[in-house]
Amino acid sequence: MKVVVAIDSFKGSLSSIEAGNAAKEGIEKACSANVVVKPLADGGEGTTKALVEGLGGVYQTLMVTGPLGLPTKASYGILKDGKTAVMEMAEAAGIFLIKREELNPWKASTTGVGEMIRDAIARGCREFIIGIGGSATTEGGIGMLQAMGYAFYDSEGNILPPVFESLGRIARICGENVPAVLKECRFQIACDVTNPLCGENGAVFVFGPQKGVKPEERKAMDQAMDHYAQKTTEFFGQDYRRNAGAGAAGGLGYAFLSYFPNVWLKSGISIVLEATALEAELRDADVVVTGEGRLDFQTAMGKAPVGVAHLAKKYGCKVVAFAGGVTEDAVKCNEEGIDAFFPIVRGVTTLEEAMNTQNARKNMTLCVEQVFRLL
């Protein structure tokens, strides 16, 4: 029997590979099987760790410009091919880097994201997988673009600072200092939102409030964003402001689409499944094991375990899921290809005890073992 294991991380408890290896141990205690463990993530938090640990790679850590201009430490991964960089924009411009009372959409910048990309290019990377969730910014990616060599000028010829306040004042754009090697690079951007850049469904109106945008500011800020898009369109001759995902991460999706060559905005799970070559392992698999920290109706809406299940059903595999906890509405997962799911917690316990890494690993192994004894 061949079993493929692809479990998302149990956040705060087990990484994807730790959960997968614990499941593998349980399977091998129960039966003789060829068990293949693959990393799993949805393109958001934990994606870099999952791919670096699961595919073999190294971490790179550097000091970058944080969202409010202060130095901050950011890490990204380079996979074992030496050419593929995996990073999360939140490392350099994430909302978790700022205290809630300090959120400032007028000043928060993505400069550090561009600095991470420049660092990876200097190390020889030409393929990029970048998750853009969890941003603290609403500046259309202007900070990242300036770090990459683009310059934005006002009507008097002054270089504008890389913050939202500059968007409505852009008169001219210059790309003379953008490194020529950027044309050789390919960017897969993990983006699971479909919002355009501007308008009532755009970056300012939908995502701005959680980053500090006040209701009375939204209209003027959206107009400034539209001005930035218009100047960008004049510079490149192409208009991406209405593209799905352009409004992601405060307009960072738009910056990638408009200013970078060879860019694809795709669902995070599809990027990860492709990067891990999971489908190749599923072709001759009998059982697929997946899961995440909590299975509920949101899982059924397209989160990582369901992405695995859909792919597994393409090859007629049985799909079993394990989770730290499940809700009543998790039955929706059965409709999405997960044949059966099981909570691994083995008795009355506190959340702290259940999330203890040692306990979670042990519970995973014991639960999986019993299920595979039945199988």
pLDDT of residue 348 exceeding 90: no
Domain covering 47-269: architecture: Alpha-Beta Complex (3.90)
Higher-confidence residue of 347 and 256: namely 256
Tell me the pLDDT band of 291, cut-offs 50, 70 and 90.
very high
* Neighbour tally for 149: CB within 10 Å: 15
Tell me the pLDDT band of 84, cut-offs 50, 70 and 90.
very high
Instruction: Please report the pLDDT score of residue 299 as a whole number.
Output: 87
Interaxial angle between packed helices 268-275 and 47-55, expressed in degrees from 0 to 180 and rounded to the nearest 10: 10
pLDDT of residue 282 exceeding 90: yes
Tell me the pLDDT band of 87, cut-offs 50, 70 and 90.
very high
Instruction: Please report the pLDDT score of residue 319 as a whole number.
Output: 98
pLDDT of residue 292 exceeding 90: yes
Q: Tell me which DSSP letter residue 43 carries.
A: S
Listed residue (18, 58, 12) closest to 39, CA to CA: 18
For residues 309 and 336, the answer to whether their CB atoms sit within 8 Å is yes
Segment 66-83, tens digit of pLDDT: 999 999 999 999 999 999
**Domain at 2-40+277-374, CATH homologous superfamily:** Glycerate kinase; domain 1 (3.40.50.10350)
pLDDT of residue 12 exceeding 90: no
Q: Distance of CA 15 to CAs 51, 199, 235, Å?
A: 11, 38, 44
DSSP 183-230: GG-EEEEE------SSSTTSIIIIISGGGT--GGGHHHHHHHHHHHHH
**pTM (two decimals):** 0.89
> Which strands, in side-by-side order, build the sheet including 287-295?
34-39, 2-7, 287-295, 318-326, 340-343
Tokens of 229: 């898009």
Segment 150-177, tens digit of pLDDT: 999 999 999 999 999 999 999 999 999 9
Q: Distance between CA 166 and CA 152 in Å, rounded?
A: 8
Domain residue extents for the chain:
2-40+277-374, 47-269
Segment 205-255, tens digit of pLDDT: 999 999 999 999 999 999 999 999 999 999 999 999 999 999 999 999 999
| Average pLDDT of the residues in 312-317 | 97
Question: What's the mean per-residue pLDDT of the chain?
Answer: 95
Instruction: Please report the pLDDT score of residue 69 as a whole number.
Output: 95
